[in-house]
Amino acid sequence: MKAFKKRLLYLCIAVACILIPGIVYCDSVKKKIPDKLYIHVQDNAVVSIGVPVIGSVYESVSDKYIDDAYFNDKVTIYSGSTGKYHVNYKLFGIIPIARTDVEVVNEKYVYTGGFQVGIYLKCDGIYVVNTETICTDDGQNIAPAKGLIKKGDYIVEADNEKVETKEQLSRIISECDGQPVSLAIRRDGNISYTDVTPVKNVAGEYKAGIWIKDDTQGVGTVTYVCDDGRFAALGHGISDNETGKVLEITGGNIYKTKILSIVPGKNGEPGELLGTIDYKQENIIGDIDKNTDKGIYGENAYSFYEEFSPDLMPVGGSYEVKKGKAYIRFYTNGSYNDYEIEINDIRYAESKNITFKVTSPELLKLTNGIVQGMSGSPIIQNGKIVGAVTHVFVDDSTCGYGIFIDKMLEENN
């Protein structure tokens, strides 16, 4: 019996040693396969995923458009008129592993960005940054909200009153006279209710032990503007530093801003654009209506055309992005400048699609690479806008990541 158990244990270990690396490898392959691909009408789309998968292109559930093609090498898809297709992939031609939805679309043109704006967002509810312990007037240390509310929650009601500002919530808590306050909490899209009993601090004020905010602001870069006044910026969402979650918003605005100085980046210390933002009505140049993991989006950015005179440029699909020379467009000293970069890696399925290194001596002298506030700067290759800067390497400010522009446009719709 003991010998049998030992053999069974060895068998389980052997299976695990085979299975776990296999799962990890399959997952790494999936990350290199795009879930969505846009191809222009009457184009020859050259696609190379670089992994050992065989794919078949289907016009419908059963009608093949292209038979088994080895996507580790370059595969050319000849597009005709607009339409929708899909590609089914098999790892080593055997194991079904992923699918790409392909849409043939008309070539699109956008006005390139690269100019900086002030950003203001209004949270959809009162955002909980964290909870804290209160030192009470009788010398106790109490955390009234601990276990009831957690960072990342949104407080939307207090004692049956809808709350939209920090001041509203603070007033209700301060007037509770030590009685429980009923709070409606939104967490992961679901509403729940909990009672929090504020305590009196050493200053004699009732506090619930919650760090909160109802808005956020900063400086960012516009990526593109469409001819209907819609715009996109940043290439990534505005998130809470503590939770990393994209903030849920009711709206916001972008404002004229003036960049006063640039703090160059250092290894381990990201630089930043330092500017002034005057949050007055007359300085609003667009209305924000979406904050997503692919950027912030809005409308009514008509003043961009006159103020910045942006270029109308064709959009390059993700399949058109190649390793090699490209450019970052960055608005400085009243004009656009295109600074050379080297694209050294491309990944379809991840959020960090483009990996690049700044090679322009001018930009390196100005910023030492990528700094905070440059997120959203257009990436241009072969005369087309193909992406936007999103992040800088923490340990190397000369290197950064970007997102494909067609991913941003998909979210814009």
- Tens of pLDDT, residues 83-104: 888 888 888 777 887 888 888 8
**Residue 339 burial by Cβ neighbours in a 10 Å radius (0-12, 13-18, 19+):** buried
Q: How do the domains of the chain map onto residue ranges?
A: 1-29, 31-105, 110-120+216-412, 133-208
Q: Which CATH class is domain 133-208?
A: mainly beta
pLDDT at residue 192, as a whole number: 93
- Where residue 223 falls among pLDDT bands split at 50, 70, 90? very high
* pLDDT above 60: residue 47: yes
**160 in Cβ contact with 182 (< 8 Å):** yes
* Opening angle at CA 265, ends 264 and 269, nearest 5: 135
Query: How many beta carbons lie within 10 A of that of residue 123, not counting itself?
Result: 22
* pLDDT above 70: residue 6: no
First to last CA, the chain: 65
Mean predicted confidence (pLDDT) in 197-206: 88
State how far the Cα of 44 lies from the Cα of 80, in Å rounded to an integer.
Answer: 9
Query: How many beta carbons lie within 10 A of that of residue 205, not counting itself?
Result: 14
**What backbone torsions phi and psi does residue 358 show, to the nearest 5 degrees?**
-70, 125
CATH topology of domain 110-120+216-412: Thrombin, subunit H (2.40.10)
Q: Which CATH class is domain 31-105?
A: mainly beta
pTM for this model (two decimals): 0.85
